[in-house]
Amino acid sequence: MTRMPLVLRGREFPIPVVLAPMAGVTNIPFRAQCRQFGPGLIYVSEMVMAAALVHGNEKTKKMVAFGPDEDFRSLQIYGSDPEFVGRAVRALCEQDIADHIDMNFGCPANKVTRKGGGAAVPVKRNLTRAIMRAAVQAAEPYGVPITCKFRIGINDDIVTFLDTGKAAEEEGIAMIALHARTAEQHYGGNAHWEYIAQLKQAVTSIPVLGNGDIWEASDAVRMMDETGCDGVVVGRGCLGKPWLFRDLVDAFSGNDVQPSPNLGFVLNVMLEHAQGLMAIMGPEFGIRNFRKHCGWYLTGYPVGSEVRRAFATVASFAELQEIAARLDHSMTLVPGGERLARGHTNGPIKVVLPDGYLENRDDMTLPDDAHETAVSGG
């Protein structure tokens, strides 16, 4: 099978690795940490709502910001009304905010799917196409590529990924990514990489990326070997572990991957990450926002529950430094620590769709969330 190069806006990305958009995580400071370890990859922002972009929501404006040294700006949007998506994409392009726009068709949150939005949208084939078309047409004059990310389907009986992939190819989408779980699986169980292989077989004219359960660099190489996909999208594996991108660059360049770092290295990255968040969000909110990252950074380091609790309630940078200073910096990761899950792991969930939703899969009725301005997640 021929592997397609990842080329977006005329730029080729020789290392086929993409940071997955993660709401509440993949903001400027986190992307900066990742980029430091793996320059030249595709790092996607947090998701923003098309409707909020159209309404010029202040919080959203902040979320679409990129750092001055981000030389390729990838932004994810969510929307289920073709008109709003088109207007949002046009506004982003007119203001030269992004070099690449990704669209999220995989959000499994119940409050979204029960209104026919998120991961429920691909069930409606024509609506999905119309959303894609609106985005592509709005971005085309500016040369901004549109990509899409979606799941296998709703559950084992309602499987949509092949239709969605073919539609993307026909509607001018530049690249697609499959999170190889159903919405029902949520984040539980294992990702079904065999569906990535099926998608790669079916979609032959644009790159197909695989997503799900890449915890170590060797997983990414294995996913590409086993499925034939053109690249990988990495989510939870890099939570508290931005050096995973260094490992991925090494693995794809044929270099040895470095052993897991000792705690001293991890603590230094933590302090830098916390400072980054504080610079953007202000000291108080920044340090509070950093708390959730502490648990991820310490995954697999046997620091004890008291230390974990101290990190989880840290209230200032000085306190963070003080806790870090108390620890044994030579501590190493427990065996197998690399593969301990971080971030969401819950699932399966019961997916509720609107009444009668499956009766006509070709209608163009807009989901009730179409003008929603605040949804998060994928």
Ligand X SMILES: Cc1cc2nc3c(=O)[nH]c(=O)nc-3n(C[C@H](O)[C@H](O)[C@H](O)COP(=O)(O)O)c2cc1C
Quick one: 234 or 263, whose CB is closer to ligand X?
234
Q: How far apart are CA 210 and CA 213, in angstroms?
A: 10
Q: Is the Cβ–Cβ distance between 233 and 191 less than 8 Å? A: no
Catalytic residue numbers read 107
d(CA 129, CA 132): 5
Closer CB to ligand X, 324 or 378, in the complex? 378
Q: How near is the Cβ of 118 to ligand X at its closest, in Å?
A: 10
Nearer to ligand X, 87 or 181 (CB): 181
By beta-carbon proximity to ligand X, the closer residue of 14 and 24 is 24
* CB within 8 Å of 345: residues ≥ 6 apart: 187, 188
How many Cβ atoms are within 10 Å of 149's Cβ, its own excluded?
A: 25
Q: Where does this chain bind ligand X (CB under 6 A)? A: 20-25, 47, 76, 104, 106, 149, 179, 211-214, 234-237, 343-344, 377-378
CB of 155 to ligand X, least distance (A): 17
Q: How far is the CB of 349 from ligand X (least distance, A)?
A: 14
264: tokens are 């001293």
Q: Is the Cβ of residue 10 or residue 336 nearer to ligand X in the bound state? A: 336
Q: Are 275 and 289 in contact (CB under 8 A)?
A: no
Two structure tokens written together for 94: 């007119």
Nearer to ligand X, 76 or 260 (CB): 76
**Residue type present at position 149:** K
Nearest-angstrom CA–CA distance, 181 and 170: 24
| Helix 283-298 × helix 263-281 angle, to 10° | 150
CB of 74 to ligand X, least distance (A): 12
Q: In the bound complex, which residue of the shown chain has the CB atom lying closest to ligand X?
A: 378
Q: Given the complex with ligand X, which of 45 and 260 has the nearer CB atom?
A: 45
Q: What is the sign of the dihedral through the CA atoms of 322, 324, 329 and 335?
A: positive
Token duo for residue 188: 């539980």
Cβ neighbours around 363 below 10 Å, total:
11
Least separation in angstroms between residue 90's CB and ligand X is 21
Tokens of residue 43, six digits: 């790092």
CA-CA distance, 24 to 21, in Å (whole number)? 9
Q: Are 42 and 71 in contact (CB under 8 A)?
A: no
CB of 325 to ligand X, least distance (A): 29
Annotate 331-377 with three-state secondary structure: CCCCCCHHHCCCCCCCCCCCCCCCCCCCCCCCCCCCCCCCCCCCCCC
Rg (CA), the chain: 20
3-state DSSP call for residue 301? coil
Task: Work out how close the CB of 103 gets to ligand X at its nearest, in angstroms, rounded to a whole number.
Answer: 9
